[in-house]
Chain A
Amino acid sequence: MEQSWKQAKAVFAAALGPPLVWLVLFFLAPMAIVWAYSFGHNAGLTEIEITGTFHNYARAIEPLYLKIFLKSVWVAALTTALCLVAGFPVALAITFASDKTKAWLLLLVMLPFWTNLLIRTYALIAVLRTEGYVNQGLEWLWNGGSGLAALVGLQPLGDFQPLELLHNNFAVILGLVYVHLPFMVLPLYSALDRLDKSLLEASLDLGTGHLRTIFKVVVPLAIPGIASGVLITFIPALGAYLTPDLLGGPDSQMIANIIERQFKRANDWPFGAAMSFLLMYLTFIAIAIQAVLSKKTPEAKG
């Protein structure tokens, strides 16, 4: 049973003090200032006057910026869906692996998760760029095919045109999936691992195929895990800065890139503050939706 704070005031105060002060001073206060700035305007080169105006929010929902918001949500949703499709079989395989294999597979999933995000993005650049490994491999195949065609008397294929794989939306989504896949696999695994395996065996014994068993038995039971995996992937993907910045082209800007620009180059802090709080509200809406959905699932389980 938890103790009432009144029974040991000194210990309570000593233990509560540092985290509370730190949280208020170095997290809540900075956030509050940004929030206040979002209702202000630039009154000079470095002065910001907080006037309670909603002008910044109005500007943020102008078509230009609204489009970027919608695009970011869409990119994050697509990333999450691709991670789910790619990650679900992996989580399933880990769940039913032998203990030793399980440990190794989990390690394999986690290692990229612990590796520096910047390095992983850089590794992708090296793969995708015009002189990257993908294009080199394709060129080799192309030349091989061309030689083969000449050999059997057909027209050679002509010069190889490298694919433009970098600095476009494709690269951004590929990069986001690459970075966030472990985020999806781990919660899926922890949900699947708790499943009652005899239910699957029963379904298979009764003659249901594997795919049908997965969709009719495993997926409905794993909904809470899927929901938390989706949330854990969606939130960082929505606020991604580095991936669109390094892999994207001029038209693949996401919300975070716009915010960064307001604070660094454009020097329009009030507008950046408004954008940043809109992104936070979107995040909270996503969390609220997940909370509502996970409350519903016990009934669905029956």
Chain B
Amino acid sequence: MPKRSPPGPLEYLRRWPMRLWLAGVFLFLYAPLIALMAFSFNDSRRNIVWKGFTLKYYEKLFENSALLEAFGNSLTIAAVSTVVSLVIGALAALVLWRFRFPGKTALDGALALPIVVPEICMGVAMLVFFAKVMPWPQGLPWPLNLGAIIIAHVSFSFPFVAVVVRARMASFNREMEEAARDLGAGEFRTIRDVILPHMAPSLVAGALLAFTLSLDDFVITFFTAGPDTVTFPVKVYSMVRFSVTPEVNAASTVLIVLTVLLTAAALKLQGNPAATAGHGAGGGK
């Protein structure tokens, strides 16, 4: 296309007021994050004036055993809760997609509850539950001591997995299943060889969603975590409360890079970013 052609009637992106607005919004979204990452390399405690490049805060980070332990806890919780959420969420999606049964609407509604209920309400519910009904035994060896947090994380992430998987199953041609049956495949075989391959992309998307949700969660973890089961966000929270330090910047940068890598992996696996966009929005519903 020649460079100087006047913008078409609907090419909003080529009009300057729109570009200015977009630039403003993205500046607003990204400037604080970029400043945060840049100043993690700044050789000054005061965090404001650029004094030169350094990696010393990253070294400090790797010597900070409390922070590393919290980071390890977060990754462990995210990994375990993702696997459990994936299984339970996929089963829930399968039941709702496949069967007609009394109480289906009720189950459907109840599954949406953990998605819409405010985090703080779920947080206090988990606090009460693990304090009064099912006290998680104290002093268990790692990683068993993380059990309460893992249970809480599964509770809020498996409905998201169910939503994503169910959306995918809507495009499944049920005749394929019948064909498999006619050709003599049993129930288990049909699920394994026909339904699961169709489900696979949504399982990947669901897993990534569950993993980030778990890694991100602060409020619910804050209410379920004990003194010896601190996760990365809870640890960062207590650091932030005291002061703005380059160490927190460095720790944040590590997590941001991890998130970007995970998102990039998700997009690579999905092929098209536009497809994953729906999941974020669908998740919010």
Chain A residues within CB distance 8 Å of chain B: 1-5, 8, 10-12, 15-16, 18-20, 22-23, 26-31, 33-34, 37, 86-87, 89-90, 92-93, 96-98, 101-127, 129, 131-133, 136, 178, 181-183, 186-187, 189-190, 197, 200-201, 204-205, 228, 232, 235-236, 238-239, 241-242, 246, 255-256, 259-260, 263, 269, 272-273, 276-277, 279-280, 283, 287
A186 adjacent to B33 (CB under 8 Å): no
**Which residue of chain B has the shortest Cβ distance to A242 in the bound complex?**
B218
> Could you say which of B52-60, B64-72, B118-126, B196-204 contacts chain A?
B118-126
Q: Nearest Cβ in chain B — how far from A11, in angstroms?
A: 5
B116 adjacent to A93 (CB under 8 Å): no
B18 at the interface (CB under 8 A from A): yes
B25 adjacent to A241 (CB under 8 Å): no
In-complex Cβ contact of A276 among B47, B116, B120 (8 A): B120
A5 adjacent to B88 (CB under 8 Å): no
**Which residue of chain A has the shortest Cβ distance to B209 in the bound complex?**
A114
In-complex Cβ contact of B121 among A19, A23, A86, A280 (8 A): A280
- Of the candidates B116, B125, B218, the one having the most CB atoms from chain A within 10 angstroms of its own CB is B125
Q: A241–B263 Cα gap in the complex (Å)?
A: 26
B87 adjacent to A89 (CB under 8 Å): no
Q: A33–B127 Cα gap in the complex (Å)?
A: 11
A131 adjacent to B46 (CB under 8 Å): yes
Chain A proximity mask over B123-141: 1 for CB below 8 Å, otherwise 0: 0111111001100000000
Q: Give every chain B residue within 8 A of A118 (Cβ-Cβ).
A: 218, 233, 236-237, 240
Q: Give every chain B residue within 8 A of A87 (Cβ-Cβ).
A: 25
7 residue pairs, one from A and one from B, having the closest CB atoms: A239-B118, A30-B129, A19-B92, A123-B32, A30-B125, A186-B281, A5-B101
Q: Knowing A18-B87, A90-B22, A126-B36 touch, does A4 contact B101 (C-beta < 8 A)? A: yes
Q: Nearest Cβ in chain B — how far from A105, in angstroms?
A: 8
A136 adjacent to B48 (CB under 8 Å): yes
